[in-house]
Amino acid sequence: MYDDVAGLRFTLEEDGFERFEIACSHEESSVRSFLLGKDGVDEALVLRTCQRYELYLHGPEAAAVLKGLGRKIGVDVSPDSDRLLVGNSVVEHLLRVACGLESGVLGEDEILGQLRGAYKRASEADALGDTLDTIALKALRVGERARTETRINEGRVSLGSVTLDRAREELPEVSGVDELQDANVLVVGAGEVAQLVVKALAHRIAVDDTDDEASLTVANRTLENAEELAAVVGGEAVALVDLGDDHLSAADLVVTATGADDRVLSIADLVGHELVVFDLANPRDVDPAVDDLDDVALVTIEDVLSVRNDGLQQREAAIPAVEEIIAEERVRLAEQLRAEEVDDTLSQIYSRAHERREAEFERALDRLDAESEQLTPEQEAAMRDFSEALVNKLLHPKTTALRQAAATDDRETVDAWLTLFDRTVDEIAVDDVREKSECDAEESTSEADAETR
């Protein structure tokens, strides 16, 4: 059923920054167009996040195209690798992605919105057919069920989010600031932890739907790195050696996350300031004695991790329930796709059969007209209804058997019926062409006879 479905996945964690950037260096629309331009590719879906890049294709050459692309980028696409996904593994993976089970932050909500956006763009670009459209919609449905029926997204587990939650509690008491977007934030460091905090801040501002940019200053030993991180929310950057009392005076919230061996902020640096300070570094950036200052609230990495781990345990406990939902919905998806496959063929059969019936009916009417035995409109309608009912009744037992075989995943029976029906469709088409040729020949003969006479 999923033989013609394939996926290729990249993650920042597994591939590193350089390879990840190479993989997703082109615009989503151009990638879709490129893939759909390949022979044997009928559908394409591109999912890109800040840490994940995945391509999903449907078509007889889907796996071959993605394998070639993976080799060109230089990743392992052998059968032993889970990089290239084929068949059932594609569906399983996408459902897990939608539920947040594959995310760096377990159960994150953002991935569901990102998948919904990817689906919408692919749909608007006519890049989806019945198969990927059905699979993507199922993934969105499963992601919503997981978050509604389990606790997979409850509690904060991102270090950045936990930090900001705690800051929001502390700020009103220390500096009188009620909302994060109203706070002046100073981030010292530009590494992974600092990035998590700044990106979480950017997300909060987007969720709050405010047009204001956060007041953010990033201080770092390498000014270029500070500038790059500050640009995430339109902030400012300063070299660490230039960090002074004026920056601390302007700040309401300070987050330190450097890799320095020595203290970055001493008690002397913070005396006289009203601040909430988060020391997320190991070893510590801030002198522990700062905690004794009346106007400074010091929160350590241990405090933050304690809250984060509580939330993580809560989410991990929900994993079995989410996996049960995935298993249940996979069965429903398989049934749905089998039914759609069967219905597509049956639609062709019924359409061709009724085309043939209508042609024969019109031919019978012509014969009656030739013999001056026209039917009344009521009689003609009754006979047409009779012919339609007769065709439907003749086809009904066969279509019922086919649908029952599809429902029970009796692949052998389904394939046999589909083969038979396809042959029937071909025979009807051949007969139609033959009859049309014969009719054309008869008309030509009649015209020739008339000219001779």
Residue 448 has pLDDT above 70, yes or no: no
Residue 452 has pLDDT above 70, yes or no: no
State what percent of residues in the chain have pLDDT above 90: 50
For the segment 131-147, the average pLDDT, to the nearest whole number, is 95
Q: What is the pLDDT of residue 392?
A: 86
For the segment 125-130, the average pLDDT, to the nearest whole number, is 94
Q: Is residue 274 a contact partner of residue 295, using CB atoms and an 8 Å limit?
A: yes
**Of the candidates 235, 206, 205, 201, the residue with the CA atom closest to the CA atom of residue 220:** 235
Residue 430 has pLDDT above 90, yes or no: no
Q: Is residue 90 a contact partner of residue 2, using CB atoms and an 8 Å limit?
A: yes
At residue 251, what are phi and psi to the nearest 5 degrees?
-85, 145
Q: What is the pLDDT of residue 418?
A: 65
What 3-state class would DSSP assign to 46? strand
Residue 162 has pLDDT above 70, yes or no: yes
Q: What is the pLDDT of residue 403?
A: 74
Residue 429 has pLDDT above 60, yes or no: no
Tell me the pLDDT of the chain averaged across its residues. Answer: 86
| Residue 43 β-bridge partners | 58
Counts for the chain of helices (H) and strands (E), in that order: 14, 10
**Of the candidates 292, 303, 297, the residue with the CA atom closest to the CA atom of residue 274:** 297
Is 50 among the residues known to form the active site? yes
At residue 259, what are phi and psi to the nearest 5 degrees?
-105, 20
Residue 99 has pLDDT above 90, yes or no: yes
Domains of the chain, start order: 5-149 (3.30.460.30), 159-310 (3.40.50.720), 345-401+410-432 (no CATH)
Spatial separation of the C-alpha atoms in residues 231 and 239, rounded to whole Å: 15
| Residue 298 β-bridge partners | 277
**Of 24, 50, 99, 439, catalytic:** 50
Spatial separation of the C-alpha atoms in residues 189 and 239, rounded to whole Å: 10
pTM of the model: 0.64
Residue 444 has pLDDT above 80, yes or no: no
Q: Is residue 26 a contact partner of residue 93, using CB atoms and an 8 Å limit?
A: no
Q: What is the pLDDT of residue 154?
A: 87
State what percent of residues in the chain have pLDDT above 70: 88
Q: What is the pLDDT of residue 204?
A: 78
Q: What is the pLDDT of residue 422?
A: 61
**Looking at the chain, how many residues does it have?**
453
